[in-house]
Amino acid sequence: MRSVSPKVMFIFLIVLAYTLGTATYLRAVNRADAMRPDEGAFKKLLGDGRRLFAGQFIEMADVYFHSGMYPSIFDRANNAKATKAVTSAVDEHSDQDYPDDHTGHKHDENGNCQHDEHDDEHVKAMTPVAENWLESFIHRFRITKHTHLSNGNEREILPWLKLAIELDPQTIETYTTAAYWLRRDLKQPDQAELVLREGLRNNPTNYELLFEMGLLQKENRHDHDRARNLWLAALKCWQLQSEEARKEDGSSFSKIASNLGELEEEDGHHEQAVTYFEQAKPHSPNPEAIQGWIDRIQTAAKAGTNAVPVQPR
């Protein structure tokens, strides 16, 4: 057997050590990546500081939604009360049993505002007021007509929502807003589902995301079984919260239970429907409407019909 030169042996060992080291490291990195979701470029670049910018991007989405007509920080400072109705709009809709819009206020099918404050508070807060000749001249070069995106143009807000999600994966409102527009007006339920799944990956026990996913299954996929399971999971997650958090967010429970009741009613399970509506009633900001549902279901059940009662929203 030929003897190997010590130099060759040394080089061979170095190459072997390097190869083994690299292979082991890559395997370890791959395993770690598989266990942890991708953090994205923003997390790597900005760290936790990125959350500071997320609100700006949500606001940008709102600016686009209003076709560029938006009060400046100076206008908002002058009109703090009226502006609150605009900026805290998403909180507003969470108080409703049947949310109609994720920009925070109801709109008709053409995208026009339907909520009561629209004519007064909302438009007033959004419209700049000229107080001298120079300001009125400058306003001629500004957008002064209050409009909302419609006819599929709502897609224009999506890039900003996507960026807001990247920047702050813990803001639930961003996922639900993006999913809402994708599934309802843009007819992209698959993309909406991906958004909600991403939200659930980042916030596994969030009942609002589960509720929104249930809505998608019911309204877009017409899959009542999945919708039911998701809403039951949402109720479970809601109940897992602390006593204080449950007291603060009773309207979410009411919203989920009401939708479950409606689902059971549609499936002809009258007793189960009444049970859910009874559960929803104490937490609802509008218990009379819930009682109306219960009465109608009971009347329909007594009459032996499966007709879905009409619910005033």
Query: Is 220 one of the binding residues for another protein (CB under 8 A)?
Result: no
Rank residues 22 and 78 by Cβ distance to another protein and give the closer one: 78
Query: Is 304 one of the binding residues for another protein (CB under 8 A)?
Result: no
Rank residues 183 and 255 by Cβ distance to another protein and give the closer one: 183
Pattern 145-164, binding to another protein, x per CB under 8 A?
x------x--xx-xxx-x--
Pattern 41-80, binding to another protein, x per CB under 8 A?
-----------------------x--xxx--x-xx--x--
User: By CB under 8 A, which span of 119-127, 137-145, 168-176, 274-282 interacts with another protein?
Assistant: 137-145
Residue 190's Cβ-count burial label (10 Å; 0-12, 13-18, 19+) is exposed
Shortest separation between residue 52's beta carbon and another protein, angstroms: 19
Question: Quick one: which of 123, 186, 200, 300 contacts another protein (CB under 8 A)?
Answer: 186
Rank residues 140 and 222 by Cβ distance to another protein and give the closer one: 140
Question: Quick one: which of 119, 135, 219, 266 contacts another protein (CB under 8 A)?
Answer: 135
Query: Is 131 one of the binding residues for another protein (CB under 8 A)?
Result: yes
Query: Is 202 one of the binding residues for another protein (CB under 8 A)?
Result: no
Query: Is 242 one of the binding residues for another protein (CB under 8 A)?
Result: no
Name the residues that contact another protein, by CB under 8 A. 64, 67-69, 72, 74-75, 78, 131-132, 134-135, 137-138, 140-143, 145, 152, 155-156, 158-160, 162, 178, 182, 186, 188, 191, 195
